[in-house]
Chain A
Amino acid sequence: MLVTEPARADETCQSPYMAKITGLEDFVYVWTLGVEGLGDGSDKLVTVDAREASPTFGKPIHAASVGGRHEAHHGGFTDDRRQFWAAGLSDSRIFIFDVASEPAKPRLVKVIDDFVERSGGAAGPHGAYALPGRMLIPSLSNRDGTGRAALVEYSNEGDYVATHWLPTEAAPNGARIEATADGYGYDARVLPRRNVMLTSSFTGRENYMRPLGDLMKDGEAMKRFGQTMVVWDFHARQPRTVLSVPGVPLEIRWAWGPQHTYAFTSTALTAKLWLVREDAHGAWSAKPVADIGDPSTLPVPVDISLSADDRTLFVDTFMDGTTRVFDVSDPDRPRQIYEKKIGAQLNMVSQSWDGKRIYYTSSLLANWDKTGVENEQFLKAYTWNGRELAARFAIDFTAERLGRPHMMAFGAAALYAP
């Protein structure tokens, strides 16, 4: 990243347009799915105290409930980091929290409840990605519940700006198609210095809201998963190339190095690590570069996290609850250097900018999480010394009557203090 704002400590894998945290994180915000009969049963933004000198270190210290369950999933800060936008996949609501006024106690200040109508039919807002003065919301679905998806822009004030549909074979919108264009969406991330945006692809509401056991038995439904990534002219918001990346490519992580023009993703159904890269002639391609665990056992890679020095990639797999660490200093030849079972199920991973603190959460989707004793719901914090993880603290979100913890984001009071 050739930027501009002073280099500071923060978590990796965030929008490059965002203000960065100076020093250590004070809080970890956890966007948490409500569970019927547990606490207030509602989705909520939980504040976990990450200040080691605090008497409440490692404890949940606040929960901002939004009322009701909306399939809480991902979210993100605005570019000035004063707001956290949290999306609900089931009813397409977007909850906007003020995290600046009182960073330990985020406050719900606005709800966008007409996302589908204003966007022209996009549904299932997935994440929230900071652009200058705006937020980019990739959708997973549409008002019909299929996987046709869009990127929807809002101003930081929460007003609708524009919708950009993912390209399909019927409506390629000028894109070159390698194999197919399914029009599905998931993640969207920008490499500003190349004016490139990458998007990945998951599945529509008809699949992600369905119990996983039923879904896996439905051969036709299982065909309706993403097989593509799209390279966009970011400034023009126009798709240029639809890459063939079979197996459901999910999280996208751009390398940070100023000469590193590549990104990693993992494919959930084929358990492979993929490298997406621009060649010397400006052409983009994707290729698998490593297996993640034993693909034949369907470990289902979910979140990944790339270190700020582009050398270490953490990869979580949901089914076996394991995190694997790859040395990716040679991006063409990732090499696994460590693995550890974190719990019975595992989804998100966030790491600090210095790579020393790693946080994990457990929940994938309300209907896809494991059941019975394997339905562990936790946030677990570790230190990483380059060789192994050592436990710092753990929070049982069921025992705390909070819910299913999903997306994590770091907060710091110093961002806003005079």
Chain B
Amino acid sequence: MRPAALLGLAALALGAAARAHDGHAPRPEAAAGFPIPPPGSYRLPPIKPAGGGAVLDEAGRSRDLLGRDLPGDTPGITVLALIYTRCGDVCPLASAGMARLQDLAATDPAVARRMRLVTLSFDPEHDTPEVMRSFAAAWRSADPAAPAWAFLTTPGRDALAPILAAYGQRVDARPGGTLNHVFRAFLIDTGGRVRNIYSLDVFEPSLILTDIRTLLLEDAGSGGARGR
């Protein structure tokens, strides 16, 4: 059961002050509250290499973060969110944003098949594969048309450290067990390069889906969004 209240809160918090549209399903532009540029009309220059590394899936199986052996995978575009499940402020909003992205992508199966969502915990002591499986059950869509969404953790701090370093993600433990961090999510192309970085300020599902379509057009050789 997905936390509907959080989905609504995320929509509000992410600037998706949804406007009524006479009963029609809201278009992406309407949900965003501002015009969405057409896919392929802009560039997404490569920012840096994306980092792989040893992770565990919800069944506890060893995987590589950027490997193509994750559940439901075909080569595609990845949206990677770094969170921890005990987080009481930004992470639930981030997960709600990922859920909205999954729902939106499900409306375009051709795109959904060529993308995946990945949520990676940076709290391996608490976020075991069992915890991530339970967490996934709360957030992941049951819609068969939705893109795959993997919930991963790491075997421990040693495996986690190089992944966090690759993404420039600092996590500091605070008294009481909370983890101090700035939320970021990463758009990773099929070549393993980071092409966009999102904070919650810009975690707008319709924009991210447009970025994904832009990269798919680029892969198809018909987009104007070649890197540099």
Task: Mark A residues whose CB is within 8 Å of B.
Answer: 1-6, 16-17, 19, 79-80, 82, 100, 131-134, 153, 155-157, 159, 161-162, 192-196, 233, 235-238, 282, 416, 418
User: Does chain A have a CB within 8 A of B199?
Assistant: yes
User: When chains A and B are docked, how far (Å) is the Cα of A193 from the Cα of B33?
Assistant: 8
Output the nearest chain B residue to A159 by Cβ-Cβ distance: B48
Contact of B174 among A4, A155, A418 (CB under 8 A): A418
Between A and B, 15 residue pairs with Cβ closer than 8 Å are A2-B15, A2-B201, A4-B201, A17-B199, A79-B182, A131-B197, A133-B168, A161-B47, A162-B45, A193-B33, A193-B34, A196-B34, A235-B202, A238-B42, A282-B35
* Minimum C-beta distance from B179 to chain A (A): 11
User: When chains A and B are docked, how far (Å) is the Cα of A185 from the Cα of B168?
Assistant: 29
User: When chains A and B are docked, how far (Å) is the Cα of A80 from the Cα of B183?
Assistant: 9
Assuming the A-B contacts A236-B42, A418-B175, are A79 and B199 also in contact, with contact meaning beta carbons closer than 8 angstroms in the complex?
yes
State the interface size on chain B (CB cutoff 8 A). Answer: 38
Q: Do residues B34 and A4 form an inter-chain contact, with CB atoms below 8 A?
A: no
User: Does chain A have a CB within 8 A of B63?
Assistant: no
Q: Do residues A236 and B90 form an inter-chain contact, with CB atoms below 8 A?
A: no
Output the nearest chain A residue to B46 by Cβ-Cβ distance: A161
Contact of A237 among B12, B42, B175, B186 (CB under 8 A): B42
Assuming the A-B contacts A2-B13, A157-B168, are A418 and B173 also in contact, with contact meaning beta carbons closer than 8 angstroms in the complex?
yes
Residue from A16, A159, A193, A233 with most neighbouring chain B CB atoms (10 Å)? A193
Contact of A133 among B34, B47, B172, B201 (CB under 8 A): B47
When A and B form their complex, which 9 residue pairs have the shortest distance between CB atoms, in order from nearest? A133-B197, A4-B200, A236-B42, A193-B15, A192-B201, A132-B199, A162-B45, A236-B37, A132-B197
Majority secondary structure of chain B interface residues (helix, strand, loop or mixed): loop
Task: Mark B residues whose CB is within 8 Å of A.
Answer: 12-15, 32-35, 37, 41-43, 45-48, 89-90, 93, 168, 170, 172-175, 182-184, 186, 194, 197-202, 207, 228
Q: Do residues A237 and B13 form an inter-chain contact, with CB atoms below 8 A?
A: no
Chain B residues positioned under 8 Å from A153 (CB to CB)? 45
Q: Do residues B182 and A4 form an inter-chain contact, with CB atoms below 8 A?
A: no
Assuming the A-B contacts A80-B182, A192-B15, are A132 and B198 also in contact, with contact meaning beta carbons closer than 8 angstroms in the complex?
yes
* Minimum C-beta distance from A228 to chain B (A): 22
Assuming the A-B contacts A193-B15, A238-B37, are A3 and B42 also in contact, with contact meaning beta carbons closer than 8 angstroms in the complex?
no
User: When chains A and B are docked, how far (Å) is the Cα of A5 from the Cα of B198?
Assistant: 14
Contact of B48 among A4, A155, A237 (CB under 8 A): A155
Assuming the A-B contacts A4-B93, A159-B48, are A134 and B197 also in contact, with contact meaning beta carbons closer than 8 angstroms in the complex?
yes
Q: Do residues A235 and B93 form an inter-chain contact, with CB atoms below 8 A?
A: no
User: When chains A and B are docked, how far (Å) is the Cα of A32 from the Cα of B43?
Assistant: 37
Q: Do residues A5 and B89 form an inter-chain contact, with CB atoms below 8 A?
A: yes
Q: Do residues A80 and B37 form an inter-chain contact, with CB atoms below 8 A?
A: no
Chain A residues positioned under 8 Å from B43 (CB to CB)? 162, 237
Chain B residues positioned under 8 Å from A161 (CB to CB)? 45-47
Assuming the A-B contacts A16-B201, A19-B182, A132-B198, are A194 and B34 also in contact, with contact meaning beta carbons closer than 8 angstroms in the complex?
yes
Q: Do residues B172 and A418 form an inter-chain contact, with CB atoms below 8 A?
A: yes
Output the nearest chain A residue to B41 by Cβ-Cβ distance: A236
Output the nearest chain B residue to A19 by Cβ-Cβ distance: B182
Q: Do residues B47 and A132 form an inter-chain contact, with CB atoms below 8 A?
A: no
* Minimum C-beta distance from A249 to chain B (A): 23
User: When chains A and B are docked, how far (Å) is the Cα of A418 from the Cα of B177?
Assistant: 10
Instruction: Give 9 A-B pairs besides A157-B168, A233-B37 with Cβ atoms closer than 8 angstroms.
Output: A2-B201, A4-B201, A100-B170, A155-B47, A162-B43, A193-B15, A193-B201, A233-B42, A236-B41
Assuming the A-B contacts A194-B34, A418-B175, are A17 and B47 also in contact, with contact meaning beta carbons closer than 8 angstroms in the complex?
no
